[in-house]
């Protein structure tokens, strides 16, 4: 269980969540830096959930690329609206 790749990924996702919630999410940083960091980390976390938990790493190229486009679009749209505000 501890030697599984998904366990390593889970540790990374937990670390990224702690950094986001109790680091970047607080008011210590410049808002632009914090928002970019928070959203990019969220996008990276989604990619790893897709590749390793959902097993898309081993999926045919078409569906894998289609799903991996989702975090890219969602993060880009959120950042676009935030910087336009």
Partner 1 sequence: MLTDVTSADEGVAGPEASRTRLPGAEGLWVFLGADAVVFALLFGLFSQARRADPVVFEASRRTLDVDLGGVNTLVLLTSSWLVALGMRALARDEQARVPRLVLGGLLVGGLFVVSKAVEYGSAIGAGFTPVTNPFFMWYFVLTGVHLLHVLAGLAALTYVWRGARVRRWSGTRRVVPECAASFWHLVDLLWIMIFPLLYLLR
Contact set with partner 1 (CB under 8 A): 1, 4, 6-7, 9-10, 13-14, 17-18, 20-22, 24-25, 27, 31, 34-35, 38-39, 42, 45-46, 49-50, 52-55, 58-61, 63, 66-67, 70-71, 73-74, 77-78, 80-82, 84-85
Distances (CA, A) of 31 to 8, 26, 80: 31, 10, 15
- Shortest reach from residue 27's CB to partner 1, in Å: 8
Cβ neighbours for 63, distance < 8 A, ≥ 6 positions apart? 56
> Residue 64 CA to chain centroid, in angstroms?
16
- Shortest reach from residue 30's CB to partner 1, in Å: 10
């Amino acid at each position: 269980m501890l030697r599984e790749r998904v366990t390593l990924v889970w540790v990374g996702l937990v670390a990224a969540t702690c950094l986001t919630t109790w680091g970047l999410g607080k008011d210590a940083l410049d808002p632009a830096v914090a928002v970019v960091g928070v959203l990019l980390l969220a996008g990276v976390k989604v990619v790893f959930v897709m590749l390793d938990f959902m097993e898309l790493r081993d999926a045919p190229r078409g569906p894998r690329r289609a799903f991996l486009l989702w975090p890219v679009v969602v993060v880009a749209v959120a950042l676009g609206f935030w910087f336009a505000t």
